[in-house]
Structure 1
């Protein structure tokens, strides 16, 4: 399987989630299963069924996070030396040429993308268009609403 890029911050969040799942969630659900077992007949025990279902979810998520971390290519944007070029992990300040509105995005991996906090996926149309461009360039982004032009005002690695 090929490596998937992830920022250092994104990898730290996944590691923290994995730690929480293994040290808090897993022991909690094991205790809930033991408690439900102590109530007797398991065939009609809704608490037991719910705890077993929760255990399956937790174990599945642990496997998923471990898989993501094992396939991750961790990139620290601070250590990038891309000479002002837009690359994975870069924070890009853009101006919508038509609307005159300024937006700032950081280009991150699929799992980290969250438009509310200004993080867009490397695979988004905007990011794919911006990759390789420099400050001062104009990028034409093909969106479902039509073509939009963005001028790259600044490229930072933070």
Structure 2
């Protein structure tokens, strides 16, 4: 009985609860109770979709990672706007990015981060989770894209998920 009452994904539950509190109109007894119900219920309903529990070894690095992503979104938005308004033609490129990440959640976070950043889109992940296909709107070479993704996003995710 206690197994059904437990939180199968405690980090997901915590994130859901905090996001619910931000979305509700102030912290009240009702929003806390509903937040707890959602934080428990959503992971219970989606438990079958989680083949293995993700292992966060350094979760305290997540806020710095999120701040980096938000900063990169702002900078990339300005760069894309400049590119669109300038007479220079963009240099689009597809890049086969070799993944060092192994956990499915970490790979999904990397792909989502790339797609959230204006000017880049993660297109596909290979069946063996070793290659991520990325489309960049404007890049000089594939090495430029690979180095940027590896240093800005993949290495911090590796530190969080090792």
* Fold agreement, TM-score > 0.5: no
Structure showing greater Rg: 1
Q: Which has the larger helix fraction?
A: 2
Q: Which has the larger strand fraction?
A: 1
TM bracket (short chain) = under 0.3
TM-score, normalised to structure 1, is 0.26
